[in-house]
Structures are given as C-alpha cells and as structure tokens.
Structure 1
Amino acid sequence: MKLLGMLDSPYVRRIAISLDLLGVEFEHAPLSVFSQFDAFAAINPVVKAPTLVLDDGTVLMDSSLIIDYLEATHAGDHGLWPRQPQALASALHVTGLALAACEKAVQLVYERKLRPADKQHQPWIDRVTGQLVAACRALDRQLASAPQASGERPDQAALSTAVAGSFIELMLPDLIRLEDYPVLHAHTQRLEQTELFKRYPLV
C-alpha cells in the first residue's frame, strides 16, 4: 500500500498512525497537494489527501472511509474501535468532535494563509473559530469524564483527538491556546511523547 499526503495534514497523520497500529505495512509518499499538485494528480486526479493506493491499484480517499476499509480488512481482533455498542457510540462521538476540530482548524489555516487579507470575511472567521472552540471544550470534557490509562494502546478516538490537538497547537497558536483545555492538552502531549507518534512527526 502507498499513503499519499503530507504529515502536516491531520487526516494523513491519522491514517499513518492507524496503519501502524493495525500492523499494515505501507509506503509513505509525502506529496503536497499544493507544491506537487501535478505529481499527486497523476495518481489521484481529485488530489485529495490522504489518498491510499491499495496493492491492486484501487485508490481510496477520505480518512474515515480509509479507516472503514482498514478495519474491515486488517483489524481482526485488534481493531481500533470498541465492539460493545455503548462504548462504540462513545468512541464515535469523541472521534466526531476530533474530526470537527480538524475541519474547523484546517478551514482557518486556509482562510488565513491562502486568502488575501482584504478578501477575508471576519464574521465567517469568527463563526468557524467559535465552532473550533466548542469542539475543544467538548473534547476536554469528554476526556475528563473518561480518561485513557497511560500506556494503553490508543483507540481511534484517542489517536484522532491527539492528532487534532497537535495540529491546532502548531498551526493556530495565536488563536487557540491548547493549555486552556488542560485535559485535552495533557492527552495530546502524552501521545506525542510515544514512539508511535514520533514515527510520524507533524513537522
């Protein structure tokens, strides 16, 4: 398998860490959707990261859909989702919050870095920032009510949350102080210090 995309994308990083946890061997091709658009398009004309190219040439995209495939084909008894319905619902809830945080953070990064300052719409920035803050608050509360034991193999909710936290902390430090969400911050820091996360650095 080949994973396309830069690890500074929270979605690409989420897939790389998930592949590792599931024991799936893969090649990482760190193609940028910006500076290497044509090279990316030659493999996936949609130019969407992450892209996972299967051994038979099938191209998958969208991190959640890729994870669905990996869980169906490689998880066995060691999947990253709980099997008990109530636990699964809780994990999906937390993962949804983490992905919402990623989405809003990416929107803000694109707005600030790609759109000229005189074209930026402050009411839209305020709205997206408010959604990001709400996601961070909710994640902080969820982690406080159900913390993960240190040393425990992270599940999909735990790893997605840490990936989101790290992206926010790196890309939007002047807008969102992750320290304002102490449980989320501690969770992110703990996983970033593991060998698993260090194998796939954000920068």
Structure 2
Amino acid sequence: MELIGMLDSPYVRRAAISLRLLGIPFKHRSLSVFRNFDEFQQINPLVKAPTLVLDDGSLLTESSLIIDWAQAQSSRRTLMPADRLAFTRAIRLVGLALAASEKSVQIVYEHKRDADKRDEGWMTRVKGQLRAAFQRLESELQDVDGWLFGTTPGQADVSIAVAWGFAQLVVADVVDAKAYPNVRAFAERAEKHPDFAALPQT
C-alpha cells in the first residue's frame, strides 16, 4: 500500500508515523497537492492528503480515519491507552494537538492570499487559538519526562510532537518556542525515536 502526501503536512506525517508504530508496511509517495496536483488527481480525484491507497486499490483519507483503520488491522497494539480515564485524557490531548495543527495550516493558507485580501481580525483570532492550544499542552506536559501513557509512543505523543514540529516549521514567528519549554522538550525527545526519525518533516 502507499501513503500519498508530503511529510511537511502534519496530517500526512502523523498518519505515517502511526502506521510505522503499528507495524503496518507501506510505501510513502511524496506528492504535493499544489505542485503535483495533476499526478495526485490521477490517484485520488479529491486531491486530499493524506491518501492511503490500499492493496485492493481502495482509497482512505483523513489522518484520524487512516489511523483508526490501521489500529483495526494491527496485531501489534493500539496507540490509545486502555484505561478509561487515560483514554479520555489521551483524546483530549490529541484534540488540542489537532487544533494546533489546524490553526497553523489556516495561517499558512491565509498568507498565500494577497496582502490586501487578508482578514487581519480573523488572523488575530486564529493566532490566539493556536497559542491557546499550545498553552494548554504546555500545562499538560509539566513534569512529563517520557511517553504520556506507557513505555512506547502513542497517538497523543505522535500528534503533539508532529503539531509542534509543523508549527515551528511554518509559524515560528507566532509560536515562540521559548514560551512553551515543556512542549518543545517533549517534541525534541519524540523526534529522536526511530519511527519519528525515519519520517522527518523536511
């Protein structure tokens, strides 16, 4: 099977790292929805990244759904904790990380517009939402010096580290790394794990 999309996308990268953690073999094809639009459209008419092309030719989209599918296939393990309270905390953290990724993407796309067509009021709101997401994560990661739910990385670990890496890649002027030392240290540790290092964002 093939995972289609650029690893500088937080959604493509979280799907790719999750597949690898779950022991699901795949090939990665690095296609841009912008630069490689026509080629991508031949694979998936929606031109949506990530796209997972299954062995039977079926197409899966949306990183969270791809990860759900992968967990159902994997005989290795799940990326979510089994304990009810831990599971609730994990999905809360994943939600914060996905919100941070979404707001980072919105800022990137808004900057692609001509300057005179940008909505500065909306941009101020989005930047505030982005910082709020990372501030919540900063609090959640206080005194965390390993993985969040056990001895191996799970989905919350993946989503947080990937969201932080993406934000630092594209909106570092909005998200000052010095303001979020816990998130920064957590992501730096995660990036040293082999399954992260094998799939760098750039």
- Same fold, TM exceeding 0.5? yes
- How far, CA to CA, are the matches of 2:163 and 2:178 in structure 1? 14
Give 1:179 shift: 2.2
| In 1: Cα distance, 2:7 partner to 2:26 partner | 14
The SS at the match of 2:28 is strand
**Alignment partner, residue 182 of structure 1:** 181
* 2:129 aligned to which of 119, 128, 131: 131
Gaps of 5+ in 2: none
- 2:42 maps to 42
Q: Which runs of 4+ in 1 moved over 4 A?
A: none
1:52 partner SS = strand
Which range moved further: 122-131 or 169-178? Answer: 169-178
The structural deviation recorded for 1:152 is 3.1
Stretch deviating more after TM superposition (133-142 or 145-154) = 145-154
Aligned: 1:105 with 2:104:
yes
Alpha-carbon distance in 2 for matches of 1:18, 1:142: 22
Q: 2:3–2:26: 8 Å Cα contact kept in structure 1?
A: yes
Kindly provide the CA deviation profile for residues 23-72 of structure 1, in whole angstroms up to 9, marking residues without a partner as x: 11101010100000011111111111000011111100000111111111
Q: Equivalent residue for 1:28?
A: 28
Coordinate RMSD, CA, aligned: 1.5
Give the aligned partner of residue 3 of structure 1.
Answer: 3
Matches within 5 A, 1:141-160: 141-144=139-142, 148-149=146-147, 152-160=151-159
Change (3 A) 1:63 1:31: same
**TM-score of the pair, normalised by structure 1:** 0.95
| Pairs within 5 Å for 1:47-62 | 47-62=47-62
Q: Is the Cα contact below 8 Å between 2:22 and 2:76 reproduced in 1?
A: no
Query: 1:94-142 CA distances to partner (integer Å, 9 max, x unpaired)?
Result: 0000000000000001111x11111111001000001001100011111
How far apart are the structure 1 equivalents of 2:73 and 2:138?
A: 32
Shift of 1:149: 4.5
Amino acid at match of 1:29: R
Tell me how far 1:176 sits from its aligned partner: 1.2
Q: CA separation of 1:82/1:149 partners in 2, compared to 1, >3 Å: closer, same or farther? A: closer
